[in-house]
Homo-oligomer: A and B are copies of this chain.
Amino acid sequence: LDQPERFDMLIGRLKERGHRMTPQRMAVLKILTGSTEHLTAEQIHKRVVKKFPMTSLATVYKTVNLLKEMGEVIELHFGSDSNRYDAAKPYSHPHLICTSCQEILDPDIESIRDLPQQIAEQYGYKIVGHRLDFFGTCPACQAKESRSSSVPNIR
């Protein structure tokens, strides 16, 4: 499902549920579906404001929470203070986070496919979701780091 399709799909789902389409809400949807980054509420707000300067942060939170309840957005808690939102893959999937530049990748790991199922059988739990995040330093930041440490300041 590509960007415009997903955008239209979400509008459809919201209308089905009797929700109104306001310019602010459309803008939030556009930004969420038009990005595979993992944006914070603040970042979404900053972008919405470019088009609709009067939009409040509270409205962004309200829309995002609505989509979350509908299962069309997932909320990601990383080490940092603020949550991030993902509308491109609204289901459990692994992340690879650079703790230096904050870049977030979605790595492909086939070996985790059956992990939930395995846990469910082994412990008798009914698994509804999971979280698999790796923290480290990306190649670019590793390069930067070794550069600055190999050329120490004279004073």
Chain A residues with CB under 8 Å of chain B are 77, 79, 96, 98-99, 105, 107, 109, 111-112, 115-116, 118-120, 122-139, 142
Contacts and interface: CB of A to CB of B under 8 A. Distances in A.
A123 B77 CA distance: 22
A109 to B, nearest CB: 7
How many copies of the chain does the oligomer comprise? 2
Given A115-B111, A124-B139, A131 B132 contact: yes
A109 B115 contact: yes
B133 A131 contact: yes
A122 B105 CA distance: 12
B138 A127 contact: no
B125 A137 contact: yes
Contacts of A105: 123
